[in-house]
């Protein structure tokens, strides 16, 4: 009994906090608390707090993803005067984010901290946009010179590939050091950022994005009211 007429009941689950049985126990406890104690009854504690926090983040996650992706698409469209390039970048970033989250869950097991995907996605998006702008800017410069998309992709990757992979390797070496810290959430962030940086720089920016751009060809540069670029081949250009 508590002063003022209240009561405190302590419930200790026999299962782990992430076990589905614990979640079922939490749901049952809240139902019983509301039924017996009325609307003034509350269920707190570490498990309940984590469940509420996870539910709140999950409910707002689509808004967060849509906001970040939408703003980045608009900015890239404004910078490069293209419709297809920003959409391709957004899809690639979402694929990388999904693969990164999967790698963390595979390494540490589920569930993971609810705010970790938000943290990883924000960091990954910032780094990947840096690589994207660096790569596409060089490709666009080459395309404006001779109007050949495939040759421009080859020139852009050849000019930026080493810089992108070197920068990614430096950051990966820094992030991987976090994987040896004693705190679980820090280890998860270290592994997640390491996988994200290497996957995005090596696989996405140096392989997938150039391949998609080469496949789409002149459609990459379509934009309302864009001036046409005269197509002419340079001597010795690569197809």
Q: What is the pLDDT of residues 35-56, one digit of tens each?
A: 888 888 889 888 888 888 888 9
Domain, as residue range, for 134? 61-221
Q: Please report whether residue 214 resides in a domain.
A: yes
Average confidence score pLDDT of the chain: 88
Q: What is the CATH number of the domain that holds 116?
A: 1.20.1640.10
Q: State the pLDDT confidence band at 235, using cuts at 50, 70 and 90.
A: very low
User: Could you tell me if 165 and 110 lie in one domain?
Assistant: yes
Assess contact for 179 and 187: CB atoms under 8 A: yes
Question: Lowest-confidence range among 49-58, 68-77, 83-92, 156-165?
Answer: 49-58
From residue 239, give the alpha-carbon distance in Å to each of 61, 88, 120, 134, 230: 42, 22, 37, 22, 17
Average pLDDT of the residues in 106-127: 86
pLDDT at 5: 79
Q: Please report whether residue 238 resides in a domain.
A: no
Q: Answer yes or no: pTM beyond 0.75.
A: yes
User: Could you tell me if 79 and 127 lie in one domain?
Assistant: yes
User: Could you tell me if 208 and 118 lie in one domain?
Assistant: yes
Q: Please report whether residue 56 resides in a domain.
A: no
Average pLDDT of the residues in 190-195: 93
Q: Please report whether residue 237 resides in a domain.
A: no
Q: SS3 sequence, 87-151?
A: HHHHHHHHHHHHHHHHHHHHHHCCCCCCCHHHHHHHHHHHHHHHHHHHHHHHHHHHHHHHCCHHH
User: Could you tell me if 24 and 73 lie in one domain?
Assistant: no
Average pLDDT of the residues in 29-35: 89
User: Could you tell me if 36 and 68 lie in one domain?
Assistant: no
Q: Please report whether residue 185 resides in a domain.
A: yes
Cβ atoms within 10 Å of 118's Cβ, excluding its own: 16
User: Could you tell me if 114 and 182 lie in one domain?
Assistant: yes
Q: What is the pLDDT of residues 126-182, one digit of tens each?
A: 888 889 999 999 999 999 998 899 999 999 999 999 999 999 999 999 999 998 988
The tally of domains found in the chain comes to 2
239 has a pLDDT exceeding 70: no
The helix/strand count (H/E) of the chain reads as 7, 0
Q: Please report whether residue 233 resides in a domain.
A: no
User: Could you tell me if 131 and 177 lie in one domain?
Assistant: yes
């Amino acid at each position: 009994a508590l002063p003022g007429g209240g009561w405190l009941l302590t419930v200790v689950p026999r299962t782990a906090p992430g076990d589905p049985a614990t979640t079922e126990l939490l749901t049952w406890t809240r139902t019983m608390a509301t039924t017996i104690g009325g609307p003034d009854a509350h269920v707190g504690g570490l498990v309940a707090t984590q469940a509420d926090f996870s539910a709140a983040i999950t409910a707002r996650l689509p808004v967060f993803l849509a906001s970040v992706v939408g703003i980045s698409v608009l900015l890239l469209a404004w910078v490069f005067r293209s419709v297809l390039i920003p959409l391709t970048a957004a899809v690639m970033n979402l694929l990388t984010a999904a693969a990164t989250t999967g790698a963390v869950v595979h390494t540490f097991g589920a569930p993971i901290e609810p705010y970790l995907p938000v943290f990883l996605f924000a960091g990954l998006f910032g780094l990947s946009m840096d690589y994207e702008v660096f790569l596409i800017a060089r490709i666009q410069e080459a395309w404006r010179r001779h109007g050949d998309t495939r040759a421009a992709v080859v020139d852009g990757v050849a000019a930026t590939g080493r810089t992108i992979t070197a920068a990614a390797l430096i950051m990966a070496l820094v992030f991987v050091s976090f994987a040896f810290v004693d705190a679980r959430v820090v280890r998860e962030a270290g592994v997640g950022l390491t996988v994200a940086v290497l996957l995005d720089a090596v696989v996405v920016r140096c392989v997938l994005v150039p391949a998609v751009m080469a496949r789409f060809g002149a459609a990459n540069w379509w934009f309302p009211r864009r001036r046409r670029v005269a197509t002419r081949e340079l001597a010795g250009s690569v197809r």
